Amino acid sequence: MQDRPDTDLASVSVSCYGARPLLVWYAIYKDEPRDAHHTEERAPRSSVLKRFDDAATLGMHNGRAVKSMWLIDEAAEQEDVVRLYGRVPAEIRARHKAYLARTTATN
């Protein structure tokens, strides 16, 4: 994806059935903002969302303090930002706001 920031990030990809990642977890850590750690996990979407929410509550991911985190659903046509925590880039916040508007709109 061309509009992803490429510095100061660590990402955790979550794959489903070995296909293209469904959720990609980005974290900007307080202690090592240039860490580019990347791991893939196979877990149900609900499990990943729960772990993200728990990490956001604690302000910690993998035992490390985070400045910000977000989850991108790459399986969605718009590559939705489905969760965020902390001060994220403006483009990420705008994508999350658009996702919320689309998914919470009542007709």
**What's the mean pLDDT when you consider all of the chain?**
78
pLDDT at 42: 56
Model pLDDT, residue 97: 96
Is 30 part of any domain?
A: yes
Q: What number is the average pLDDT over the span 18-30? A: 76
Which structural domain, as residue segments, surrounds residue 81? 10-104
Among 13, 46, 47, CA closest to 27: 13
Sign (positive or negative) of CA dihedral 61, 4, 36, 43:
positive
Tell me whether residue 2 is in a domain.
Answer: no
Quote the DSSP letter at residue 90.
H
Report if residue 5 sits inside a domain.
Answer: no
Q: Per-residue pLDDT tens for 28-77?
A: 888 876 664 545 555 788 898 999 999 999 999 889 898 889 998 888 88
Residue 38 lies in a domain: yes
Q: How many domains are there within the chain?
A: 1
pLDDT at residue 53 in the model: 96
Counting every residue written for the chain, the total comes to: 107
